[in-house]
Copies of this chain bind each other. A is one copy, B any other.
Amino acid sequence: MSDKNHLEKRIFELHAAVCKTLSHPKRLGIIDLLRGEKEMGVSEIAEKLIITKANASQHLSLMRQQNIVKTRRVGVTILYSLANPKIIVAYDALKKALKEQLEADGKLLEKF
C-alpha cells in the first residue's frame, strides 16, 4: 500500500509536470503552430506569436526538457516539431471539454 501510494504520487507528479508545461498560453500557441507534423525554426515561431526570439527559445527549451517537442538541425536553423503527437489528443480533448462547458454556461464563443 505504501508502495502503491508512492508510485501513484510519482505518477501524479510527472503528469502534473507535463500539465504545467502546457499551462502557458504561449506554449499552447507553440503546440498549435506545430500541430500536423509541422516543423518551424525559433525565429518563425517568435514572429508568429509576436514574442522575442529569446523568449520563444526559453519556452521551447522547457518543452524540449519535457519531451513535448524535439529538434532537428538544418544548416544554421533549428527546426522544432512535436515529439509526441499524441499530446495533441489531450490538448484537443481538453479544448472540447472547455468548449462544451462554455456553451453550457451560455458564454459561448463561436469559432472555438
Interface residues of A (CB under 8 A from B): 4, 7-20, 22-29, 32, 67, 83-84, 86-87, 89-90, 93-98, 100-101, 105, 109, 111-112
Contacts and interface: CB of A to CB of B under 8 A. Distances in A.
Binding site of A, secondary structure by majority: helix, strand, loop or mixed? Answer: helix
B7 A25 contact: no
Q: Which 4 A-B residue pairings sit nearest by Cβ, starting from the closest?
A: A19-B23, A90-B94, A20-B23, A86-B97
- Count identical subunits in the complex: 2
A19 B29 CA distance: 13
A46 to B, nearest CB: 15
A84 B101 contact: yes
A25 B16 contact: yes
